[in-house]
Amino acid sequence: MWTEARIKELVERQRRFFRSGKTLDLDWRLEQLRRLKSAVLAREREIEAALAADLGRAPMEAYFCDVGPVVMEINEAIHGLRRWAKPETRFSGLACFPSTVTKVYKQPYGVSLIISPFNFPFYLSLAVLAAAIAGGNTAVIKASSKSAHSTELLKKLIADTFPEDFAALVDGGHEVAELCLAQRFDKIFYTGSPRVGVRVMEAAAKHLTPVTLELGGENGNWAIVRKDADLRDAARKIVFFKLLNAGQICINVNQVAVAEEAAEPFLAALREELLRQIGADPLHNPEYPCLITEAAWERCAAEAERYRDRILCGGAGEKESRKYAPTLIYPVRIDEPLVRHELFAPLLPVVPFKDAEIDALLETVAEREHGLALYVFTRDLNWARKVMSTQQYGGGCVNEVCLHLMAKGAPFGGVGHSGMGSYHGEWGFREFTHPATVLYGRTRFNLSLREHPYTGKGAELKMKLLRLFER
């Protein structure tokens, strides 16, 4: 049982361990990353079983979404760490003459708190842990109580791999999370909802602790299908993504906007793809995931019931198994409540728009809170480039879904209500380190430009040189 005193003592122990300087050694960090990778691979079957118990995941989906991405993240850190951590040398500029050499050192923050969610319990805790380790930090992980089987396995995995002084997992509900947030950490990394993200920032502000937030976004993520899009390809990819983890993904397609001119064939393609990919009876397909809790199932069912008269397919579920069928809802107006919040469920509202009025659609999307992802489907790549370079969102794809999350060497993060900060690869290392600038001064040939007196003999020359150097 985690108490305030026990958590405080854990944080203090980790702070003492960090101050010992052991985590500063790059060879030591690399060894911990290798240990973490070995621990994940050794428990692959156990991870599959835990994800099946919590979320009804099939083994392949478990590997694709949790095991494989963690291994990728660790491998990237192992291969890149020495390069990332190398101090950078900069020319100081003439204003600093004769001290022309400046170094930028990548310093770890210290003791970090990682708060992870239920939907990808291994990936969204261990991939963040890998970034924290690469940066030279210790870590306390607060895992979700909703994914109980996964959290229990994570607790064993961490305990068997690392001493508590370096990395530890804290389990429990919201009250335990509050106990963690009451402590003074040096870095907090939270993945979850905007509502809780606000609470995390409030707690961090008391200690002026830097925070990274990876949030789902208040209004959900849009997929926009133009009339010139490859409709079958778009439907295939959107259906795949909506089935994945039963829609419980922060970057999932929350709603689709489709050009009226292409709506009927697109909807037909969606129905065909649902049948092809998950079958006529998804509720009894062992590969189809379930919702995380009974309360989540009830919210999904109630949301669908409010739009019962517009359900094209799906709209049924089994409370006992917590499964709810993938459900197409059409037509939905852009101002309706269903497309004004994140669904986190296998419901797919489809909003028709006139293709000639695409700018008005984009304006409405831009007026709402920024999504974590944006997906556009079109053959007009010039238009797509313009949209993706001018809209505000976390990340996204053109004629694809979700794979930007797995792009090596690229950052992943949100903006506004979908988060702040980025990670993955070197960006994760940066998120867990502070770039400290150090100028190396010279003791000879120093100029007196900055020194008093500022008037009298030589003042005019000083000013001319300052104007020359500071430009």
20, burial (CB in 10 Å: exposed 0-12, middle 13-18, buried 19+): exposed
Residue type, 249: I
Q: What's the gap between Cα 329 and its chain centre? A: 28
Give the whole-angstrom CA distance, residue 39 versus residue 35: 6
- CB-based burial, 265-294: b 16+ in 10 Å, e otherwise: ebbebbbebbeebbeeebbebeebbbbbee
- Residue 205 has which token pair? 């502000």
Give the whole-angstrom CA distance, residue 461 versus residue 449: 9
Catalytic option among 48, 65, 180, 250: 250
- By DSSP bridging, strand 211-215 and strand 419-420 are antiparallel
214 is catalytic: yes
Let me know: does 156 contact 138? Beta carbons within 8 Å: no
∠ at Cα 166 (161, 175), nearest 5°? 100
Start-to-end CA span in the chain (Å): 60
336 is catalytic: no
Count of C-beta atoms within a 10 Å radius of residue 419: 26
Give the whole-angstrom CA distance, residue 357 versus residue 191: 35
Partners of 89 in the β-ladder: 103
Catalytic option among 48, 61, 76, 214: 214
Let me know: does 116 contact 20? Beta carbons within 8 Å: no
Partners of 324 in the β-ladder: 317
Partners of 412 in the β-ladder: 423
Give the whole-angstrom CA distance, residue 192 versus residue 428: 17
411: Cβ contacts below 8 Å, ≥ 6 apart: 395, 422, 423, 424, 425, 427
Q: What's the gap between Cα 136 and its chain centre? A: 20
- By DSSP bridging, strand 253-259 and strand 395-398 are unpaired
Quick one: CA torsion of 64, 70, 76, 79, rounded to 10 degrees? -120
Just list the catalytic residues: 214, 250
